[in-house]
Amino acid sequence: MTKVITYGTYDFLHEGHIRLLERAKALGDYLIVGVTADDFDMARGKINVRQSLMERVEAIRQTGLADKIIIEEYEGQKIDDIRRYEVDIFTVGSDWVGKFDYLNEFCKVVYLDRTEGISSTEIRSQHQSLRIGLVGETNIVNKFKNECHFVNGIEITGIYASSKGVLDRELQDLASKTEDYVDLLKKCDAVYIASKPSEHYAQVKTALESDVNVLCESPITMTVDQFKELSDLAYERKLVLMDGIKTAYSLAFNRMMLLIKSGIIGEILSVDTTCTSLIDIDEDNPPKHLWNSITAWGPTALLPIFKIFGTDYVQTMRFSKPLKGDDDFDLFTKISFIYDAGVASIKVGQGVKSEGEMVISGTKGYVYVPAPWWKTDYFEVRYENPSENKRYFYQLEGEGIRYEILSFLNMIKGRKSYNRVSPEISRQIIEIVGNKRELQNGSIF
Ligand code: C2G
Protein backbone atom coordinates (compact mmCIF):
# COMPACT_ATOMS: atom_id res chain seq x y z
CA MET A 1 0.00 0.00 0.00
CA THR A 2 1.39 3.42 -0.98
CA LYS A 3 0.84 6.03 1.70
CA VAL A 4 0.74 9.71 0.74
CA ILE A 5 0.86 12.69 3.08
CA THR A 6 0.11 16.36 2.43
CA TYR A 7 -0.27 19.43 4.61
CA GLY A 8 -2.03 22.74 4.49
CA THR A 9 -4.03 25.40 6.29
CA TYR A 10 -7.13 24.90 4.09
CA ASP A 11 -8.80 28.13 5.13
CA PHE A 12 -12.18 28.36 3.39
CA LEU A 13 -11.49 25.21 1.42
CA HIS A 14 -11.65 25.95 -2.30
CA GLU A 15 -11.30 24.25 -5.64
CA GLY A 16 -7.51 24.73 -5.66
CA HIS A 17 -7.18 22.79 -2.40
CA ILE A 18 -9.60 20.10 -3.51
CA ARG A 19 -7.82 19.53 -6.83
CA LEU A 20 -4.57 19.20 -4.96
CA LEU A 21 -6.06 16.67 -2.55
CA GLU A 22 -7.51 14.65 -5.44
CA ARG A 23 -4.16 14.47 -7.20
CA ALA A 24 -2.39 13.68 -3.92
CA LYS A 25 -4.80 10.83 -3.33
CA ALA A 26 -4.20 9.54 -6.87
CA LEU A 27 -0.47 9.23 -6.13
CA GLY A 28 -1.15 6.27 -3.81
CA ASP A 29 -3.74 4.22 -1.94
CA TYR A 30 -3.99 6.00 1.40
CA LEU A 31 -4.04 9.78 1.97
CA ILE A 32 -3.09 11.49 5.22
CA VAL A 33 -3.92 15.19 5.41
CA GLY A 34 -2.15 17.38 7.96
CA VAL A 35 -4.08 20.52 8.93
CA THR A 36 -2.06 23.33 10.52
CA ALA A 37 -2.90 24.29 14.10
CA ASP A 38 -3.56 28.01 14.69
CA ASP A 39 -0.41 28.34 16.79
CA PHE A 40 1.70 26.68 14.14
CA ASP A 41 0.46 29.07 11.45
CA MET A 42 1.28 31.95 13.75
CA ALA A 43 4.76 30.59 14.41
CA ARG A 44 5.49 30.13 10.71
CA GLY A 45 4.36 33.71 10.06
CA LYS A 46 1.19 32.91 8.12
CA ILE A 47 -1.30 35.69 8.67
CA ASN A 48 -4.98 36.19 7.96
CA VAL A 49 -6.24 32.66 8.63
CA ARG A 50 -9.92 33.22 9.25
CA GLN A 51 -11.42 29.82 10.10
CA SER A 52 -10.78 27.92 13.30
CA LEU A 53 -8.85 24.65 13.27
CA MET A 54 -12.06 22.72 13.90
CA GLU A 55 -13.85 24.32 10.95
CA ARG A 56 -10.88 23.63 8.67
CA VAL A 57 -10.63 19.99 9.77
CA GLU A 58 -14.36 19.52 9.29
CA ALA A 59 -14.16 20.87 5.73
CA ILE A 60 -11.40 18.38 4.89
CA ARG A 61 -13.41 15.55 6.43
CA GLN A 62 -16.41 16.45 4.28
CA THR A 63 -14.42 16.09 1.06
CA GLY A 64 -14.18 12.37 1.78
CA LEU A 65 -10.69 12.40 0.26
CA ALA A 66 -8.66 11.98 3.46
CA ASP A 67 -8.21 8.52 4.92
CA LYS A 68 -6.71 10.11 8.00
CA ILE A 69 -6.58 13.69 9.25
CA ILE A 70 -3.84 14.86 11.59
CA ILE A 71 -2.97 18.23 13.10
CA GLU A 72 0.37 19.88 12.31
CA GLU A 73 1.56 21.56 15.48
CA TYR A 74 5.31 22.09 15.36
CA GLU A 75 8.31 22.76 13.16
CA GLY A 76 9.92 19.48 12.17
CA GLN A 77 6.74 17.44 12.69
CA LYS A 78 6.68 16.38 9.04
CA ILE A 79 9.72 14.13 9.62
CA ASP A 80 8.08 12.63 12.71
CA ASP A 81 4.83 11.98 10.82
CA ILE A 82 6.55 10.40 7.80
CA ARG A 83 8.32 7.99 10.11
CA ARG A 84 5.37 7.30 12.38
CA TYR A 85 2.89 6.57 9.58
CA GLU A 86 5.48 4.95 7.28
CA VAL A 87 4.71 7.38 4.51
CA ASP A 88 5.97 6.73 0.96
CA ILE A 89 5.21 10.06 -0.70
CA PHE A 90 5.10 13.61 0.65
CA THR A 91 3.34 16.03 -1.66
CA VAL A 92 2.48 19.71 -1.65
CA GLY A 93 1.73 22.45 -4.23
CA SER A 94 4.33 23.88 -6.59
CA ASP A 95 4.46 27.14 -4.61
CA TRP A 96 6.72 25.19 -2.25
CA VAL A 97 9.17 23.86 -4.88
CA GLY A 98 12.53 23.19 -3.26
CA LYS A 99 11.37 23.98 0.28
CA PHE A 100 10.72 20.38 1.23
CA ASP A 101 13.58 18.71 -0.65
CA TYR A 102 15.09 17.84 2.74
CA LEU A 103 12.29 15.27 3.18
CA ASN A 104 13.75 13.23 0.28
CA GLU A 105 15.88 11.57 2.91
CA PHE A 106 12.73 10.04 4.42
CA CYS A 107 10.35 9.48 1.50
CA LYS A 108 9.66 10.58 -2.08
CA VAL A 109 8.80 14.29 -2.46
CA VAL A 110 6.37 15.35 -5.21
CA TYR A 111 5.44 18.96 -5.98
CA LEU A 112 2.09 19.17 -7.74
CA ASP A 113 1.14 22.09 -9.96
CA ARG A 114 -0.98 24.59 -8.17
CA THR A 115 -4.30 25.70 -9.58
CA GLU A 116 -3.72 29.32 -10.51
CA GLY A 117 -6.41 32.01 -10.45
CA ILE A 118 -8.77 29.48 -8.94
CA SER A 119 -11.98 31.30 -9.56
CA SER A 120 -13.30 34.04 -11.74
CA THR A 121 -16.05 34.95 -9.32
CA GLU A 122 -15.67 38.29 -7.60
CA ILE A 123 -13.45 38.56 -4.54
CA ARG A 124 -16.07 40.88 -3.12
CA SER A 125 -17.71 37.77 -1.83
CA GLN A 126 -15.86 37.71 1.47
CA HIS A 127 -14.14 34.34 1.31
CA GLN A 128 -12.87 34.37 -2.23
CA SER A 129 -9.10 34.65 -2.64
CA LEU A 130 -7.76 37.90 -4.01
CA ARG A 131 -6.19 37.30 -7.43
CA ILE A 132 -3.17 39.51 -7.66
CA GLY A 133 -0.96 40.22 -10.69
CA LEU A 134 2.61 41.46 -10.41
CA VAL A 135 4.14 44.13 -12.62
CA GLY A 136 7.81 45.00 -12.80
CA GLU A 137 11.31 43.67 -13.08
CA THR A 138 13.11 44.63 -9.87
CA ASN A 139 14.18 42.35 -7.06
CA ILE A 140 11.38 43.60 -4.83
CA VAL A 141 8.90 41.69 -6.99
CA ASN A 142 10.58 38.43 -5.91
CA LYS A 143 10.31 39.46 -2.27
CA PHE A 144 6.69 40.47 -2.72
CA LYS A 145 5.82 37.13 -4.31
CA ASN A 146 7.48 35.25 -1.44
CA GLU A 147 5.58 37.32 1.11
CA CYS A 148 2.25 36.60 -0.62
CA HIS A 149 2.71 32.97 0.41
CA PHE A 150 2.40 34.03 4.04
CA VAL A 151 -0.83 35.93 3.61
CA ASN A 152 -3.77 33.65 3.46
CA GLY A 153 -6.38 34.52 0.85
CA ILE A 154 -4.00 35.74 -1.88
CA GLU A 155 -3.42 34.06 -5.23
CA ILE A 156 -0.73 35.23 -7.63
CA THR A 157 -2.17 35.10 -11.11
CA GLY A 158 0.79 36.15 -13.22
CA ILE A 159 3.49 38.71 -13.79
CA TYR A 160 4.08 41.26 -16.49
CA ALA A 161 7.74 42.26 -16.77
CA SER A 162 9.65 44.01 -19.55
CA SER A 163 12.76 41.97 -18.73
CA LYS A 164 13.09 38.77 -16.73
CA GLY A 165 16.74 38.99 -15.64
CA VAL A 166 16.32 39.49 -11.90
CA LEU A 167 13.16 37.41 -11.51
CA ASP A 168 13.47 34.05 -9.77
CA ARG A 169 12.59 30.79 -11.51
CA GLU A 170 8.98 30.69 -10.34
CA LEU A 171 8.33 34.21 -11.63
CA GLN A 172 10.22 33.64 -14.88
CA ASP A 173 7.93 30.69 -15.58
CA LEU A 174 4.87 32.75 -14.76
CA ALA A 175 6.13 35.70 -16.85
CA SER A 176 6.47 33.54 -19.92
CA LYS A 177 2.75 32.75 -19.70
CA THR A 178 1.67 36.40 -19.78
CA GLU A 179 1.15 37.82 -23.25
CA ASP A 180 0.72 41.46 -22.33
CA TYR A 181 -0.38 43.75 -19.53
CA VAL A 182 -4.05 43.96 -20.49
CA ASP A 183 -4.15 40.20 -20.73
CA LEU A 184 -2.88 39.99 -17.12
CA LEU A 185 -5.41 42.56 -15.89
CA LYS A 186 -8.29 40.46 -17.18
CA LYS A 187 -7.31 37.70 -14.76
CA CYS A 188 -6.79 39.89 -11.68
CA ASP A 189 -8.70 41.64 -8.93
CA ALA A 190 -5.59 43.64 -8.01
CA VAL A 191 -2.07 44.40 -9.20
CA TYR A 192 1.16 45.18 -7.42
CA ILE A 193 3.19 47.58 -9.55
CA ALA A 194 6.96 47.81 -9.06
CA SER A 195 8.03 48.83 -12.54
CA LYS A 196 10.17 51.88 -13.33
CA PRO A 197 8.62 55.05 -11.85
CA SER A 198 8.21 56.57 -15.32
CA GLU A 199 5.86 53.69 -16.24
CA HIS A 200 3.65 53.86 -13.15
CA TYR A 201 1.17 56.44 -14.39
CA ALA A 202 0.15 54.58 -17.55
CA GLN A 203 0.09 51.20 -15.82
CA VAL A 204 -1.94 52.39 -12.83
CA LYS A 205 -4.39 54.16 -15.14
CA THR A 206 -4.91 51.09 -17.32
CA ALA A 207 -5.44 48.93 -14.23
CA LEU A 208 -8.03 51.27 -12.72
CA GLU A 209 -9.82 51.55 -16.05
CA SER A 210 -9.99 47.76 -16.07
CA ASP A 211 -11.57 47.80 -12.57
CA VAL A 212 -8.47 46.39 -10.93
CA ASN A 213 -7.25 47.60 -7.50
CA VAL A 214 -3.68 48.90 -7.34
CA LEU A 215 -0.82 48.73 -4.87
CA CYS A 216 2.00 50.76 -6.43
CA GLU A 217 5.54 51.23 -5.17
CA SER A 218 5.95 54.86 -4.15
CA PRO A 219 6.01 57.34 -5.89
CA ILE A 220 2.74 56.43 -7.57
CA THR A 221 3.32 59.05 -10.27
CA MET A 222 5.91 61.69 -11.04
CA THR A 223 3.52 64.66 -11.05
CA VAL A 224 0.90 65.80 -8.58
CA ASP A 225 -1.64 66.36 -11.38
CA GLN A 226 -1.31 62.77 -12.53
CA PHE A 227 -1.73 61.58 -8.95
CA LYS A 228 -4.90 63.61 -8.56
CA GLU A 229 -6.28 62.22 -11.81
CA LEU A 230 -5.60 58.64 -10.71
CA SER A 231 -6.95 59.19 -7.18
CA ASP A 232 -10.17 60.60 -8.63
CA LEU A 233 -10.43 57.67 -11.01
CA ALA A 234 -9.95 55.17 -8.17
CA TYR A 235 -12.54 56.99 -6.07
CA GLU A 236 -15.14 57.07 -8.88
CA ARG A 237 -14.70 53.37 -9.54
CA LYS A 238 -14.62 52.46 -5.84
CA LEU A 239 -11.17 50.93 -6.20
CA VAL A 240 -8.16 50.99 -3.91
CA LEU A 241 -5.07 52.89 -5.00
CA MET A 242 -2.50 52.26 -2.29
CA ASP A 243 0.94 53.78 -1.93
CA GLY A 244 3.50 51.00 -1.45
CA ILE A 245 5.90 52.04 1.28
CA LYS A 246 6.64 48.88 3.23
CA THR A 247 8.16 50.66 6.23
CA ALA A 248 4.74 52.17 6.95
CA TYR A 249 3.54 48.64 7.76
CA SER A 250 6.41 47.55 10.00
CA LEU A 251 5.34 46.91 13.56
CA ALA A 252 8.38 48.58 15.16
CA PHE A 253 7.90 51.70 13.04
CA ASN A 254 4.25 52.01 13.99
CA ARG A 255 4.90 51.40 17.69
CA MET A 256 7.65 54.01 17.62
CA MET A 257 5.29 56.55 16.04
CA LEU A 258 2.69 55.90 18.75
CA LEU A 259 5.29 56.22 21.50
CA ILE A 260 6.61 59.57 20.32
CA LYS A 261 3.07 60.88 19.80
CA SER A 262 2.38 59.94 23.41
CA GLY A 263 5.14 62.36 24.47
CA ILE A 264 7.87 59.93 25.52
CA ILE A 265 10.62 62.27 24.23
CA GLY A 266 8.69 65.50 24.84
CA GLU A 267 8.12 68.04 22.10
CA ILE A 268 9.73 67.02 18.82
CA LEU A 269 12.11 69.51 17.27
CA SER A 270 13.90 67.55 14.60
CA VAL A 271 13.66 64.40 12.47
CA ASP A 272 16.62 63.23 10.40
CA THR A 273 16.53 60.23 8.09
CA THR A 274 19.22 58.72 5.89
CA CYS A 275 18.70 55.97 3.30
CA THR A 276 21.45 54.97 0.88
CA SER A 277 22.57 52.02 -1.18
CA LEU A 278 25.48 51.21 -3.42
CA ILE A 279 24.59 49.91 -6.85
CA ASP A 280 26.60 48.82 -9.86
CA ILE A 281 26.45 51.74 -12.23
CA ASP A 282 27.60 51.13 -15.77
CA GLU A 283 29.02 54.53 -16.76
CA ASP A 284 28.95 53.65 -20.47
CA ASN A 285 25.33 52.73 -20.24
CA PRO A 286 23.78 55.07 -17.65
CA PRO A 287 20.68 53.73 -15.90
CA LYS A 288 18.33 56.30 -17.43
CA HIS A 289 14.92 56.44 -15.79
CA LEU A 290 15.71 53.64 -13.37
CA TRP A 291 15.14 54.04 -9.65
CA ASN A 292 17.60 56.76 -8.64
CA SER A 293 18.32 58.11 -5.17
CA ILE A 294 15.24 60.29 -4.83
CA THR A 295 12.78 57.89 -6.48
CA ALA A 296 14.12 54.79 -4.74
CA TRP A 297 14.59 56.27 -1.30
CA GLY A 298 12.71 59.59 -1.18
CA PRO A 299 9.28 58.17 -0.24
CA THR A 300 10.66 56.06 2.62
CA ALA A 301 12.90 58.84 3.94
CA LEU A 302 10.05 61.37 3.81
CA LEU A 303 7.47 59.15 5.48
CA PRO A 304 8.42 59.69 9.16
CA ILE A 305 8.89 63.40 8.59
CA PHE A 306 5.45 63.89 7.08
CA LYS A 307 3.91 61.60 9.70
CA ILE A 308 5.42 63.59 12.56
CA PHE A 309 5.39 67.18 11.32
CA GLY A 310 2.70 66.95 8.63
CA THR A 311 3.09 68.21 5.07
CA ASP A 312 2.73 71.90 5.76
CA TYR A 313 6.37 72.95 5.80
CA VAL A 314 7.37 76.57 5.41
CA GLN A 315 10.45 76.12 3.29
CA THR A 316 12.82 73.55 1.82
CA MET A 317 16.44 73.67 0.78
CA ARG A 318 17.80 70.97 -1.46
CA PHE A 319 21.15 69.83 -2.72
CA SER A 320 21.19 67.28 -5.55
CA LYS A 321 24.02 65.78 -7.50
CA PRO A 322 23.45 63.75 -10.67
CA LEU A 323 25.43 60.83 -11.95
CA LYS A 324 28.31 61.77 -14.22
CA GLY A 325 27.10 61.48 -17.79
CA ASP A 326 23.40 61.22 -16.90
CA ASP A 327 21.72 64.40 -15.71
CA ASP A 328 18.50 62.48 -15.20
CA PHE A 329 19.95 60.11 -12.64
CA ASP A 330 19.89 61.60 -9.17
CA LEU A 331 22.91 60.15 -7.37
CA PHE A 332 22.58 61.97 -4.08
CA THR A 333 20.09 64.40 -2.57
CA LYS A 334 19.84 66.13 0.76
CA ILE A 335 16.75 68.15 1.58
CA SER A 336 16.13 70.26 4.67
CA PHE A 337 12.59 71.15 5.70
CA ILE A 338 11.69 74.09 7.91
CA TYR A 339 8.40 73.82 9.81
CA ASP A 340 6.89 76.18 12.36
CA ALA A 341 7.38 73.47 14.98
CA GLY A 342 10.84 72.22 14.04
CA VAL A 343 13.20 71.08 11.31
CA ALA A 344 13.76 67.87 9.37
CA SER A 345 16.12 66.46 6.80
CA ILE A 346 16.44 63.55 4.43
CA LYS A 347 19.69 62.27 2.94
CA VAL A 348 19.31 59.75 0.12
CA GLY A 349 21.85 58.14 -2.16
CA GLN A 350 21.86 55.49 -4.85
CA GLY A 351 25.52 54.93 -5.58
CA VAL A 352 26.59 56.78 -2.40
CA LYS A 353 26.89 55.24 1.05
CA SER A 354 26.22 56.65 4.51
CA GLU A 355 24.94 55.42 7.87
CA GLY A 356 21.25 54.55 7.31
CA GLU A 357 19.89 55.69 10.62
CA MET A 358 17.01 57.80 11.88
CA VAL A 359 17.17 60.22 14.80
CA ILE A 360 14.13 61.99 16.25
CA SER A 361 15.07 64.68 18.75
CA GLY A 362 12.77 65.97 21.45
CA THR A 363 12.85 68.20 24.51
CA LYS A 364 13.04 65.24 26.92
CA GLY A 365 15.13 62.75 24.93
CA TYR A 366 15.57 61.24 21.51
CA VAL A 367 14.70 58.14 19.52
CA TYR A 368 17.54 56.39 17.78
CA VAL A 369 16.80 53.79 15.09
CA PRO A 370 19.95 52.05 13.87
CA ALA A 371 20.68 51.24 10.23
CA PRO A 372 18.86 50.10 8.23
CA TRP A 373 16.09 52.00 10.03
CA TRP A 374 13.55 51.40 7.22
CA LYS A 375 13.48 47.69 8.01
CA THR A 376 14.01 47.90 11.69
CA ASP A 377 12.77 45.57 14.36
CA TYR A 378 14.55 47.56 17.03
CA PHE A 379 14.85 51.12 18.35
CA GLU A 380 16.04 52.93 21.45
CA VAL A 381 14.61 55.80 23.43
CA ARG A 382 17.56 57.65 24.96
CA TYR A 383 17.71 60.21 27.75
CA GLU A 384 20.32 62.42 29.41
CA ASN A 385 20.68 59.78 32.10
CA PRO A 386 21.57 56.56 30.20
CA SER A 387 20.13 54.35 32.94
CA GLU A 388 16.66 55.56 31.88
CA ASN A 389 17.18 54.48 28.25
CA LYS A 390 14.70 51.98 26.91
CA ARG A 391 15.11 49.45 24.13
CA TYR A 392 12.23 48.16 22.06
CA PHE A 393 12.18 45.09 19.87
CA TYR A 394 9.33 43.90 17.62
CA GLN A 395 9.59 40.98 15.26
CA LEU A 396 9.64 42.26 11.67
CA GLU A 397 8.00 39.78 9.34
CA GLY A 398 9.10 40.13 5.71
CA GLU A 399 10.42 43.70 5.94
CA GLY A 400 6.84 44.93 6.45
CA ILE A 401 5.71 43.62 3.06
CA ARG A 402 3.54 40.92 4.63
CA TYR A 403 1.50 43.45 6.59
CA GLU A 404 1.43 45.79 3.60
CA ILE A 405 -0.23 43.01 1.58
CA LEU A 406 -2.69 42.28 4.39
CA SER A 407 -3.60 45.97 4.63
CA PHE A 408 -4.14 46.09 0.87
CA LEU A 409 -6.44 43.08 1.14
CA ASN A 410 -8.38 44.67 3.99
CA MET A 411 -8.71 47.97 2.17
CA ILE A 412 -10.14 46.17 -0.87
CA LYS A 413 -12.66 44.63 1.49
CA GLY A 414 -13.68 48.18 2.46
CA ARG A 415 -11.71 48.61 5.68
CA LYS A 416 -10.18 52.04 5.11
CA SER A 417 -8.55 52.18 8.53
CA TYR A 418 -5.77 49.92 7.26
CA ASN A 419 -4.19 52.66 5.16
CA ARG A 420 -0.95 53.86 6.76
CA VAL A 421 -0.01 56.43 4.10
CA SER A 422 -2.63 59.14 3.72
CA PRO A 423 -3.38 60.56 0.24
CA GLU A 424 -1.99 63.89 1.46
CA ILE A 425 1.34 62.24 2.31
CA SER A 426 1.39 60.43 -1.06
CA ARG A 427 0.72 63.75 -2.81
CA GLN A 428 3.45 65.55 -0.94
CA ILE A 429 5.95 62.76 -1.59
CA ILE A 430 5.28 63.17 -5.32
CA GLU A 431 5.67 66.93 -4.99
CA ILE A 432 9.17 66.43 -3.56
CA VAL A 433 10.30 63.40 -5.57
CA GLY A 434 8.89 64.73 -8.83
CA ASN A 435 10.45 68.17 -8.39
CA LYS A 436 13.11 67.58 -10.97
CA ARG A 437 14.80 70.85 -11.82
CA GLU A 438 17.64 70.72 -14.29
CA LEU A 439 20.20 68.89 -12.21
CA GLN A 440 23.45 70.69 -12.59
CA ASN A 441 26.47 69.47 -10.82
CA GLY A 442 25.59 69.96 -7.19
CA SER A 443 22.60 72.23 -7.63
CA ILE A 444 20.91 73.88 -4.69
CA PHE A 445 17.23 74.78 -4.87
N1 C2G B 1 -3.02 24.93 -3.32
C2 C2G B 1 -3.20 24.70 -4.68
N3 C2G B 1 -3.82 25.64 -5.44
C4 C2G B 1 -4.27 26.77 -4.89
C5 C2G B 1 -4.10 27.03 -3.52
C6 C2G B 1 -3.47 26.06 -2.74
O7 C2G B 1 -2.80 23.66 -5.23
N8 C2G B 1 -4.85 27.67 -5.68
C9 C2G B 1 -2.32 23.89 -2.49
C10 C2G B 1 -1.06 24.38 -1.80
O11 C2G B 1 0.05 24.37 -2.67
C12 C2G B 1 -0.92 23.39 -0.67
C13 C2G B 1 -2.38 23.09 -0.33
O14 C2G B 1 -3.18 23.48 -1.45
O15 C2G B 1 -0.28 22.21 -1.10
C16 C2G B 1 -2.84 23.82 0.92
O17 C2G B 1 -2.65 25.19 0.73
P18 C2G B 1 -2.69 26.21 1.98
O19 C2G B 1 -3.91 25.97 2.74
O20 C2G B 1 -2.41 27.57 1.46
O21 C2G B 1 -1.49 25.70 2.92
P22 C2G B 1 0.06 26.06 2.83
O23 C2G B 1 0.34 27.35 3.50
O24 C2G B 1 0.50 25.88 1.43
O25 C2G B 1 0.71 24.91 3.78
O26 C2G B 1 2.86 22.88 6.61
C27 C2G B 1 1.93 23.46 5.76
C28 C2G B 1 2.21 23.11 4.36
O29 C2G B 1 3.56 23.34 4.21
C30 C2G B 1 1.46 23.85 3.27
Q: What does the pLDDT look like over 75-97, one tens digit per residue? A: 899 999 999 999 999 999 998 99
344 CB near ligand 1 (under 6 Å): no
- Which residues is 173 bridged to in the sheet? none
| Helices 15-26, 53-63: inter-axial angle, 10-degree rounding | 60
Ligand 1 center to 27 CA (angstroms): 17
Strands 268-277 and 343-350: parallel
Please count the residues of the chain: 445
Contact (CB, 8 A) for 314 and 433: no
Task: Read off the pLDDT of each residue in 282-288 and give the average, rounded to a whole number.
Answer: 64
Report the nearest-CA residue for atom 14 of ligand 1: 17
pLDDT at 416: 78
Residue 158 is predicted with a pLDDT of 94
**How much is the pLDDT for 442?**
55
Ligand 1 centroid distance, CA of 212 (Å): 25
CA of 178 to the centre of ligand 1 (A): 23
Helix/strand number for the chain, H first, E second: 13, 19
Of the two residues 43 and 10, the one the predictor is more confident about is 10
From the number of C-beta atoms within 10 Å of its C-beta (0-12, 13-18, 19+), residue 417 rates as exposed
Q: Which atom of ligand 1 is nearest to the CA of 93?
A: 11
Is the distance from the beta carbon of residue 12 to the nearest atom of ligand 1 less than 6 Å? no
d(CA 15, CA 119): 8
> In which element (H, E) is residue 410 found?
helix 401-412
Query: In the prediction, which pLDDT does 123 show?
Result: 40
Distance 330 CA to ligand 1 centre (A): 43
User: Torsions phi, psi of 440, nearest 5?
Assistant: -95, 175
- Identify which of 18, 40, 74, 95 to mutate to test ligand 1's pocket (most ligand atoms within 8 A of the CB): 95
CA-nearest residue, atom 17 of ligand 1? 8
Digit-coded pLDDT (tens) for 317-329: 999 998 887 777 8
| pLDDT score for 445 | 61
Tell me what pLDDT residue 235 has: 96
Which phi-psi region, left, alpha or beta, contains residue 397 (left: φ > 0; alpha: ψ -120 to 50)? Answer: beta
Per residue in 6-35, pLDDT (tens digit) is: 999 999 999 999 999 999 999 999 999 999
For residues 91, 127, 177, 143, the Cα torsion angle rounded to the nearest 10 degrees is -80
- Percentage of residues of the chain with pLDDT beyond 70: 93
State yes or no: pLDDT of 173 exceeds 50. yes
Which strands make up the sheet holding 30-36, listed edge to edge? 68-72, 30-36, 3-8, 89-93, 108-112
Q: Is 81 in the pocket of ligand 1 (CB under 6 A)?
A: no
What is the residue-wise DSSP string for 18-54? Answer: HHHHHHHHHTSSEEEEEEE-HHHHHHTT-B---S-HH
From 288-292, 297-301, 302-306, the region with the lowest mean pLDDT: 288-292
Ligand 1, atom 11: closest residue by C-alpha:
93
- Considering 150-159, 315-324, 333-342, 428-437, the range whose residues carry the highest mean pLDDT is 333-342
Determine whether the shortest distance from the Cβ of 117 to ligand 1 is under 6 A.
no
Handedness of CA 400, 406, 412, 414 (dihedral sign): negative
| Of the candidates 209, 218, 202, 193, the residue with the CA atom closest to the CA atom of residue 132 | 193
What's the mean per-residue pLDDT of the chain?
A: 91
Mean pLDDT (whole number) for 173-196: 93
Bridge-based pairing of strands 154-160 and 3-8 is unpaired
Decide if pLDDT at 126 tops 60. no
Residue 124's pLDDT band (cuts 50, 70, 90): very low
Average pLDDT over residues 295-303: 97
Decide if pLDDT at 52 tops 90: yes
Asked whether 340 and 334 are in contact (CB, 8 A), the reply is: no
Instruction: Give SS3 for 111.
Output: strand
What is the pLDDT averaged over residues 131-154? 93
